[in-house]
Amino acid sequence: MASQTTKGEERVAQMAALVEKVQYTMEVADSLPTLEEFVAEQVKDQIYHLETNLAVLKIYQYHPESVKIPVVVQILLKSLMALPANHFSLCAFQLSKAILRDPQVETVFKIADLLETADFLKFWALADSQAELLDIVPGFADAVREHIIGLLSRTYQTINKKLLQDTLHLPLDQLNTVINERGWKRTVDSITFDANECNQPRAKKLAQRV
């Protein structure tokens, strides 16, 4: 695992240098295939480099004849895996109207909207119906669950176990594994998250009348 991480870090460093070169020279003919190849590497090796992906979309913006929709979809899905960071918005800003009209891209935008509005039950329903599309990026569902857990644990101190199961879209045995791995306290029907600065009750400050 360590060697794979080192390899990923080395490739990220190489791509960062190439992205900088592209930004200043726009040597698209030589650079675009290499950048697109690294998008595929990010998917395969489950690494991530936003700057490379933005550079690809920027080149597509100025050279629409070079657009590859599967690459765009991969980039958008990888950006959603970085939630709650606003990487999806940064990528979406680079897309032309023609790209936005593509059915697969439209679907990814629907998925993004449900995630960003925390409508998780509808998100999972759509995700199940679009499994073939989402399966092109390994780890997508797990990354979304990490985002959901982070959001829930910052919002709630205790949550109904069935609600948590539905929100994470997990069978009961897998939910119990998650609970055990994270050391959450449980009762028959509720789960208590670890305390953090966001999920603790705060004392109300009473204004003094002078």
Q: Which residue stretches of 81-171 are H helix?
A: 87-92, 97-100, 103-116, 120-129, 131-134, 140-155, 161-168
Greater model confidence, 208 or 96: 96
pLDDT in tens, 111-145: 999 999 999 999 999 999 999 999 999 999 999 99
Do strands 158-160 and 185-186 pair parallel, antiparallel, or not at all (unpaired)? unpaired
Cβ of 153: how many Cβ atoms within 10 Å?
19
> pLDDT at position 207, please?
53
Closest by Cα among 122, 139, 1, 11 to 78: 139
pLDDT in tens, 19-31: 766 654 555 657 8
> pLDDT at position 62, please?
86
Helix and strand numbers (H, E) in the chain are 12, 3
**Kindly report the CA angle at 71 between 52 and 131, in degrees rounded to 5?**
125
Asked if residue 203 has pLDDT above 60, the reply is: no
Tokens encoding 57? 């979309």
Closest by Cα among 184, 74, 198 to 168: 184
